[in-house]
A = this chain, B = another copy of it.
Amino acid sequence: MSALETVLVELVVILLIAATVGVALARRANIPYTIALLLVGVGASAIGLSHTIGLTRDLILLVVLPALLFQGGANVDLQRLRRNLLPVVLLAGPGLVLSILLLGAIGRYAFGYPVLVSLLFATMILPTDAVSVVAVFEDLGAPKRLSTVVESESLLNDGVGVALFTTILAVVVEATRRGGSPAALTSATDLARTVGFELLIASVGGFLVGVAAGHLVYRAMVVADDAMLGVSLTVVLAYGSYLLADALGASGAIAVVVAGLFIGDRGETEALDPQTRITVATTWSAVAFLFNTLLFVLIGLETPIEAFVDSAALVAIAFVLVVLARAAVVYPLVSAANGWLDESIARPSQHLIAWSGLHASIPIALVLGLPTDLPVALREELRALVFGVAALSLLVQGLTIGPLLDRLGLVQRSPPEEVYRLLTARLRGVDAAIATASELHRSEELPQDLYVEFCETYGREKNRLETAISQLLDRYPSVRRRAELAGERRVLESEKDAVMAAIKAGVVEGRDADRLLETVDERLERVDAGESDVRRLEETAFREFWTDAIDAYDLDVDRPWRDDEDGAATGPEET
């Protein structure tokens, strides 16, 4: 078997296991998918499964990360990000620096490291992880606004973290090479100046590269007007902007996130052909999902269990300190930001922001990238510590974010709404049973008398359920309101699905397709904002956009189409 074949076989096996886990979890999702994958990986490693695919720094930083950051950036709701930009930037920039200084100072005493090594550890472990956070939040259905804050912070602080790490690592390596203790080598002000300068270059440079590349590629996509070329171009954009920024000494991570934000936002609102938009978004989601799947299984497989057990106490202390260091900056910074926000971020949400900063793939990529210049013992220890804290972070925080959301009351469902959901769920079951019964009866698989009995039993239950639901809705207008909006949303979504299917099938293209999608999207947005869309349409004199398209044909659409009402109902598809 050639090397490539071995790798392919292992990839297929990993994906097969992961898919099995996914299918098994599909029905009851108490455990987020990524965490389950991690556990499977750890389990496989514990029973000593041999494997040749391994995580390397390059694999994570150059292959996996650009894709995940690009997709993350493109998926951020830019309007919502703009409304929460201050806390996001505060947390991703000053917040990260402050927590690193804090953990660096404490770590000196807690782990007995020289201050520079302690800082290096803090720099590796503290960037929160867009990958893990997004995955967990998606699975749990966290409130939109909080997801936006935590996800965007995670996307941006990766860039800041990598830049800080590179600078501090250079100082540590230099110190080690000179043989002296790293402690006394650099003055604090010198260090601060170097790091501050690097950080500025990294952020500003990354931002500029991202904007420039994003703009160019976006224009090319508009000119190309082809879904497949759109995919090619976004691949070039994601990896190109990352590699280019890196080569220029700027932050690749920041560049690719900005490029992603740019494409996502402009793609939504401007001249991009809808088919291109759908194709590009779908493809990147699928790629991100596959990369995520592989990443988490591999992290599990690579976790050095023995070293982790050996230094269990240290890992536990480090984990607690990491959480505290994050909490120590989240509360004051978010509270400070609240003064400038239209709608402030309340205390329960602050708890969630503090607790949902997961530390996983970025720390692991960074610790795998420690150069061989460093003493072996130090590298091994840092590796055990970082993998250990990452695993604890994923397991402890990852598995408790869901319960915390419930406990903090951030998933806002009232008891009557719970009852409403229970009743409608049961009603759906009853309806399905009745439908199947009548189907079986029609196909002569259910005898008449049994069928009648079925109908009576279920019919009685259905009646009582419907009465209960209608009384519940009368008594709780807020439940009715939400039910109405949810209903409207589903109607509009199925309208959108049908339009997208028509676009994919090539029935409409270009500008027409765009208008069709835009119309639905606008209405979906209004429903999301809590406005009933149908009521609004009736109040305003809404003119459907397609009436423009038929202007040239001088058709009289307001004339009744047929005399009888029945004709209109069957529609022209059969003509």
Contact = CB atoms under 8 A, between A and B. Distances in A.
Contact of A58 (B5, B422, B473, B480): B5
A162 to B, nearest CB: 15
A18 interface: yes
Contacts of A454: 491, 534
A49 interface: no
Nearest to A66: B8
Given A432-B495, A463-B568, A484-B447, A290 B231 contact: yes
Interface stretch (A99-107, A117-125, A545-553): A545-553
A425 B502 contact: yes
Contact of A228 (B8, B236, B289, B549): B289
Interface string A275-314: 1001100110111011001000000000000000000000
Interface string A308-324: 00000000000000000
A154 to B, nearest CB: 20
A574 B487 contact: yes
Interface string A106-145: 0000000000000000000000000000000000000000
A225 B19 CA distance: 12
Contacts of A470: 444, 561, 572, 575
Contact of A498 (B419, B432, B502, B537): B432
A365 interface: no
Interface stretch (A82-90, A253-261, A349-357, A504-512): A504-512
Nearest to A239: B12
A407 interface: no
A473 to B, nearest CB: 7
Contacts of A547: 464
A525 interface: no
Interface stretch (A70-78, A170-178, A202-210, A434-442): A434-442
A526 interface: no
B422 A508 contact: yes
Contacts of A471: 553, 555-556
B484 A433 contact: no
A345 interface: no
A58 B4 CA distance: 7
A22 interface: yes
A428 interface: yes
Interface in A372-416: 416
Contact of A286 (B56, B231, B423, B440): B231
**Residue with the greatest number of chain B CB neighbours at <10 A, chosen from A223, A433, A454:** A433
Nearest to A544: B461
Contacts of A496: 429
B555 A472 contact: yes
A224 interface: yes
A368 interface: no
Interface of A: 2, 4-5, 8-9, 11-12, 15-16, 18-19, 22-23, 26, 56, 58-59, 62-63, 220, 223-226, 228-229, 231-233, 235-236, 239-240, 243, 274-275, 278-279, 282-283, 285-287, 289-290, 293, 416, 418-419, 421-433, 435-437, 440, 442-447, 450, 453-454, 456-457, 461-473, 475, 480, 483-484, 486-488, 490-492, 494-504, 507-508, 512-513, 516, 520, 532, 534-535, 537-538, 544, 546-547, 549-550, 553, 555-561, 566, 568, 570-575
27 contacts: A4-B63, A8-B63, A12-B239, A12-B243, A26-B225, A274-B497, A283-B287, A427-B572, A427-B573, A429-B495, A429-B502, A429-B516, A432-B498, A436-B490, A444-B465, A445-B490, A446-B483, A447-B484, A450-B532, A457-B537, A465-B546, A466-B572, A467-B555, A467-B557, A467-B559, A469-B572, A483-B575
